[in-house]
Amino acid sequence: MRHRAPLRTAAAGTLIAILAVLVLAADQFSKQLVLQHLEPGVAVPVAGEALQFVLVFNPGAAFSLGEGVTWIFTIAMAIVAGVIVFLAATRVRSRLWAVVLGLLLGGVLGNLADRLFREPGFAVGHVVDFILTPWMWFWTPNAAIYNVADIFIVGGMAAVALLLVIGIELDGTRGATRDAPVAAESVADADAGATADADAGPADTDPAVADPAAPAAPAKDAD
């Protein structure tokens, strides 16, 4: 089976950047639409109660956790974005990793843009959330409301975990595949040693066996 060659680092970085920009654009476009057409806190059924749009402004994380420390989430998202950009520029050569990191980066940038540029101010802005799917939270009263960026963040993190579990490296190799040349070299050395031993033949260890090329000893006269 023919395998695709790994991407060059520049190509992987370009793919990550393109996907990140697309996700960021989709997230900000959807938020702008709901800001123009929805009233805060008013539920609009889209697919009955299973899918609703409810505009809220979230200063914290999921379930409105950490509302008083918005700046911490801003710093955390900036760090995550920075790490992804660093990996894209230096290490990523796998198409799968490039796609996953590109989508994850786009989601992170979507919410980071809200933190940086929305009210009430720089680095403490509230994230625009509007998607409500109560069935995902077992119809609990405090079901989380999320946005497009959150979908790609959660999906991207799950995909990263999956790639780590199955052992795909950032350069596209697998952990076992990377160690294969060393193992093959060890097997080759062992085969070479066995061949050399076979060519040498068994060693003469019995002193009682005479060398057929040696002259015969004279016969001793009987008394």
Active-site residue list: 129, 150
Q: Choose among 205, 49, 202: nearest CA to 132.
A: 49
Residue 24 exposed, middle or buried by CB count within 10 Å (0-12, 13-18, 19+): buried
In sequence order, the 6+-apart residues with CB closer than 8 A to the CB of 43 are 52, 53, 54, 132
Ordered DSSP codes for 126-163 = PEEEEEE-GGGGTT-TT--EE-HHHHHHHHHHHHHHHH
Q: For residues 140 and 21, what is the distance between their CA atoms, to the nearest angstrom?
A: 34
The letter for the amino acid at 67 is E
Contact between residue 96 and residue 163 where contact means Cβ atoms under 8 Å apart = yes
